[in-house]
Amino acid sequence: MARVCLERVARKFESTTAVEEISFEIPDGEFWVLVGPSGCGKSTILRMIAGLDAPTTGNLYIGDRLVNQVPARQRDVAMVFQNYALYPHMTVAENLGFGLQMRQADAATIQAQVQSVAKSLDIAHLLQRKPKQLSGGQQQRVALGRAIARSPQVFLLDEPLSNLDAQLRDETRAELKQLHQRIGITTIYVTHDQMEAMTLADKIVVLSRGQIQQIGSPQQIYNQPVNRMVACFLGHPPMNLLQAVYDAGSFYIQGQRLPCPARLIPLLNSAQGHSFDLGIRPEYLQVISSSEPDQTTATLETIAQLVEPLGRENMLRVVLPNSDQILNLTTKTEIYPQIGDRLTLGFDLNALLVFDASTGAIVR
Ligand code: ATP
């Protein structure tokens, strides 16, 4: 096991800058997840750590060793891709032991290691099968097992679950988490799936256009996003955004007034007439009866546009009157408005996030 450290690492491909100068240090044994929209540079970062690609500038360390010039096979990292290429002519056992065999481990060591890894991934009963006799999920577990069997210092995973169907994906994700808790290898995991990021990570790195937007625990990223991009990337259904204009201690949204949270008023002294995006997570919104406005600090008048029953709850889409500004929220199943019904939504003003409309930076 080893720490992984990037010091001002950048990667350019002719005119494209895939990764701007980025720096972070992953402590030994932690599970970090790189997330961000397509093309933000996640895979390039992983490939540079693996040694499959070289930084244009900057230093990359695994443990205390500077590895910029160290070839991939000498870095002691194992990588699992979305397309787990197992060797089709080999059995599962041979696939699992292949890395050790390449390193000239003796037969007894290989056998012991293969048995142990197969047991931990629940594939011991499949050892004599060939890959084509396995389901997609089983093949993916063998690919993970093949990487683990080598006992690498660092484990690199690039969208390893994206070929699996939803249920298998959930199961394998849980297994991966337990596996990491047991073996504790430093792991870097690339995904664009925010659910995987939230559930697996010790720390999440949110990337956009080759730049780090924020590094933090899942809770920090979710509750204290530094900007609109981070706030909207994590969370399902995503954070609601309303366009508003600030004036004298209040926000105005299509003629409706929302008081500005008191903590922000001193910060907005010079922002009279400026545009802001107001962020509110769906779980903070409630349908209230308009006769009880005191129970919440802020209210918005809306019109029901769509109701989707999900069994345990309903997903509700509403629109602000005379506008195209939409809000999504979840409600108890007994709240089932007719399309076009007027609904008052209430929420705690402390849950409101305020972003500068032009830069996306959070005001706090
Ligand atoms: P995805 O989620 O779609 O896999 P990503 O976040 O992993 O995307 P990268 O594959 O790291 O993104 O690519 C980052 C940027 O670098 C993209 O604009 C991509 O087109 C560019 N890029 C990556 N590899 C090369 C290459 N070999 N030559 C030229 N441009 C490249």
- The residue extents of the domains of the chain are 4-233, 240-356
Relative to the CA of 44, which ligand 1 atom is closest?
11
- Output the CATH code of domain 4-233: 3.40.50.300
40 lines ligand 1 (CB under 6 A): yes
To which H or E segment does residue 332 belong? none
Residue 56 CB less than 6 A away from ligand 1: no
Strands (E), the chain: 4-13, 16-26, 31-35, 57-62, 65-66, 77-80, 154-158, 186-191, 203-208, 211-216, 240-247, 250-253, 256-259, 275-280, 286-288, 298-309, 314-319, 326-331, 342-347, 353-356
Q: What's the CA gap between 149 and 74, in Å, rounded? A: 16
Query: Is the CB of 37 within 6 Å of ligand 1?
Result: no
Q: Give yes or no for residue 15 CB within 6 A of ligand 1.
A: no
Residue 59: predicted pLDDT? 98
pLDDT, tens digit (0-9, with 9 covering 90-100), for 70-101: 999 899 999 888 777 789 999 999 999 998 88
Spatial separation of the C-alpha atoms in residues 284 and 240, rounded to whole Å: 10
Domain 240-356 has CATH 2.40.50.140: yes
Q: Which pLDDT does position 296 carry in this prediction?
A: 55
Q: How far apart are CA 238 and CA 114, in angstroms?
A: 42
Nearest CA to ligand 1 atom 1: 38
CA of 260 to the centre of ligand 1 (A): 41
pLDDT of residue 5: 98
Instruction: Kindly give the parts of the chain with pLDDT less than 70.
Output: 290-296
Angle at 210 between CA 207 and CA 211, to 5 degrees: 60
Q: How many A from CA of 99 to the centre of ligand 1? A: 28
**Candidate of 14, 35, 40, 81 to mutate for ligand 1, largest count of ligand atoms within 8 Å of Cβ:** 40
pLDDT computed for residue 250 by the predictor: 95
Cβ neighbors of 149 (< 8 A, separation 6 or more) are 96, 97, 99, 100, 113, 114, 117
CA distance 13 to 19: 9
